Structure 1
Amino acid sequence: MRRAELEHLIRAAAAVTNEYEIVVIGSQSILASVPAPPPELVQSMEADCYPLRRPELADLIDGAIGELSPFHERFGYYAQGVGPETAVLPDGWQERLVKLQNEQTDLKLGWCLEPHDLAAAKLVAGRDKDGPFVATMLRHGIISMDTLVARIAALPLDEARKARLQRQARRLAQA
């Protein structure tokens, strides 16, 4: 996905839900902070999002511009309607959201995860693709280890799990 495609999805999600502010919590939220990230970070053809004020309308996003929709068939990318509970995020993540708003979003607001918050959520999710994603962010200097470790410490998890995630992050930095 490219930034222009994310802007299109924000615009479309806002139109479908009749909401002004859309939160993007998936990997493609990186495009708000890093307009031209390394190719390894933008391989996904979907953006996970929901309306800020009415997350329950995420189903409308899935139905209209989601996977296998006419929108997806036409453009080759789509939005996945999710809820705020989809990602486990560090305390204070809402205050660090990165604003994406311009003419391409039809001046609708896209609120995207700050890269360190995204990396922490990826480590919690722990899928095969998540470790390499975080390693790429570290290798390219998109995130710093010190801030990532602090964000992991702010996750709503038990201390033992946070310690394991911090060790994993340090291993990824050496990969």
Structure 2
Amino acid sequence: MNRLQLHALLREAKALSGHGEFVIVGSLAILGAVSEPPDAMVMSVDVDAYMKADPGRTGELCEALGQGSPFEDEFGYYLDPVSPKLPSFPEGWQDRLLLVDFGDVRAFFVAPNDVAVSKYIRGDARDMRWLRAGLMRGLLNLDVIERMVGSAPTLGNELQAARKRMTGHRKRLKL
């Protein structure tokens, strides 16, 4: 996935919804920080996003742009509507959104370290690959992530597990 592909998807979303501002929250949010991130950070074919002014209506775009849609059939990627409350981002994440103005549509991307907090909490194997690639390229700052992780909403032992994953990366990557 790249910015041109993302722009094409958001342009279609605007044409269907009338909304011209979207928030990108998942792995592909890295495209807001750098135009050419490592391949391991942009392997996803689903764009986790919501309409900034009306998040609850984003799901209405699924038939035309979601998984199994004609858009996915033609282009190989799709819109995955999410709630702004879904990811485990640290306090203040909305104040750190990164804007990319494509001219006809605007995308607000969750900052890389905020996405990293959520990924450390979730701990999926794909998330670990994304995190390693970002840490190795200097796109993520483990010191900042460690400071922020405690302010993210978690359940049960998720915070302890996230900190253990960070310690593992610090040791293995010699950070």
TM normalised by structure 1 equals 0.90
Write the distance in 1 (CA, Å) between the matches of 2:153 and 2:29. 21
Amino acid at match of 2:162: L
What residue identity is the alignment partner of 1:115?
Answer: P
- 1:128 corresponds to which residue? 125
1:146 aligns with 2:148: no
The aligned runs of 1:6-85 (5 Å cut-off) are: 6-85=6-85
Q: CA RMSD in A?
A: 1.7
2:113 is matched with 116
Question: Quick check: 1:90–1:156 contact (8 Å CA) kept in 2?
Answer: yes
Rounded Cα–Cα distance in structure 2 between residues aligned with 1:29 and 1:158: 24
**Among the aligned pairs, what percent are the same residue?**
28
3-state SS in 1 of match to 2:108: strand
**Which secondary structure state, in structure 1, belongs to the residue aligned with residue 36 of structure 2?**
coil
Matched, 1:167 2:167: no
Distance 1:30 1:20 in 2: 20
Q: Give, in whole Å, the separation in 2 of the partners of 1:7 and 1:93.
A: 23
- Match for residue 96 of structure 1? 96
Q: Is the 8 A contact 1:16 1:60 kept in 2?
A: no
Range with greater deviation from structure 2 (86-95 or 147-156): 147-156
Verify the 8 A CA contact 1:97 1:111 in the aligned structure 2. yes
Kindly state the Cα deviation for residue 159 of structure 1 after the two structures are TM-superposed. 9.4
> Aligned residue pairs: how many?
172
Deviating more after overlay: 15-24 vs 141-150: 15-24
Q: Structure 2 length as normaliser, TM-score?
A: 0.90
In structure 2, C-alpha distance between the alignment counterparts of 1:98 and 1:159, rounded to whole Å? 31
Structure 2 letter corresponding to 1:114? A
- Structure 2 CA distance for aligned equivalents of residues 145 and 9 of structure 1: 32
Distance 1:158 1:47 in 2: 25
